[in-house]
Structure 1
Amino acid sequence: MDIKTYIESGILELYVAGALSEKENEEVYALMLQHPEILQEVLEIEAAIIKLTSATSRGNNNHILQNIKQVLNFNNKDTKVISIAKPKYNWVTYTGWAASIILAAGVFWTVNQNNKLQSEIQVAETKQLLLETQIANSKNSLEEANTLITVLRDDNITRIPLAGQGSFANTYAKVYWDKTAQRIFIDGAGLPEPPEGKVYQVWSLTLNPLTPTSLGTIDDFKTDANKIFEIKNVNQSEAFGITLEPAGGSETPTMEQLYTLGVV
């Protein structure tokens, strides 16, 4: 699309003046969102019109009135009778000036109405987007709930309680291991909210020799209301542990920050 040609076509002036159809208004609005040059041009057109109406407002008309009095030979002391046969002023000039004010006022009103309509459209679009997001979240939550119910009721799922360790003896978690699907579900309801800049990291352990393998970090712990997290696990795990690590995770577990541990 040639932006310059589109701007020079005059359609943006018609848009600002409210002279386009509803479909054409929507098309221009969509292009404004896509092309900053078009949006800037619309803003400049509106600013020019507003400046015109401000320049012809009542507060700035005193000098015009004085000019009219001067042309008509009026003053504060006496009044002269002007011959109708030989007028000393041009009615066409002042009629055109008045018409310009009326036109500018009409355009200014149209701009305000157009801005109001655009605001209403934006509010409606925002509400629609919010509703769609809520519906999508509800759908995802329902699917997650159905998945969890299936896991909890499956006799082939291995359940491993993770007990609190050391200074974190009052914490706990649970692991539900679906070996067939090679995944685990971490129930972290017994873990406190991690401090700023820290995340929980889940480890798969083999005991002889003791070898930890990271299964990843729980980055959305604070925002997840259910505190249940699905994690891929392809390891032949003999135990699971959860440590508190710096954001981004660690290559090896920080044993001083081992919150929970449980053997399969």
Structure 2
Amino acid sequence: MDIQSYIASGKLELFVLGELSDREREEVIALSKKHPEIKRELEEIEDAMFAFDDKSGVKPPEAVKGKIFDSLSKDLEEGEEKIASSRPAAKQVVLQPWKQFAVASSIVAFLAILAAVYFAVQYYDVEERFTALLEERNVLSQELDVNQARYHELDQQFETLLSGDYERVPMLGDSFELQKDARVDVFWDKGSQNVLVSVNELALLDEHQDYQLWAIGDDGPVGIGIVKPGEKLTLQQMEAAASAGAFAITIEPKGGSKSPTLENLVVIGEVV
């Protein structure tokens, strides 16, 4: 028999606490008489129980401790007699009240620790989610402010379109190899000479280039502003155009040119 494995099984602790069945108690008693290691372990377990109770503040009188040791010795002797006579054991060591309180207090303390850990985790989880919601709310609030400003600007621009006598001049890139899918609309009020541009599709350029709008009239092409390809669904204000038979956009060096680079012609549209 592997004595150390038996000692490590936990049966000896249950024996001291009075939690074994009669048959198991008889087995422990018999083995303790046969193996000094088991008997010595039983005594050490009993001492450990008393030491635990001393630390927890519940210390039984010395007389009670003596009675418990006497009871354990008596159990060993009675167990030997019962095994010899083959009669079932009828005596069971009852867990002493001070032991019950010690075990109960340990369980309560353990459950309290588990509860504290659980609620701490829940608290930090809720705090993190609340912080994330606040950050998301701030982002949405900023986006709302930007959208409201954009809406207000568009509203003013469309009000300008409706209040004036604007002619729409669509400019397409179908005829040019540079950007066949380019689409830009020019809105021109001949009376006020006001020009607005709406970008539907224009490829982005590198940082050294710009799109430049030209009003082509009797005096040739005149540059009337830089067109921003990223500003879609809005009306970009250009310089005034006194006369124009057509409008065109070319790609020019950053800041624009005095005359158009014809090989970089992107879109053109005739005024009807």
Tell me the TM-score normalized by structure 2: 0.45
Tell me the TM-score normalized by structure 1: 0.46
User: Greater CA radius of gyration, 1 or 2?
Assistant: 2
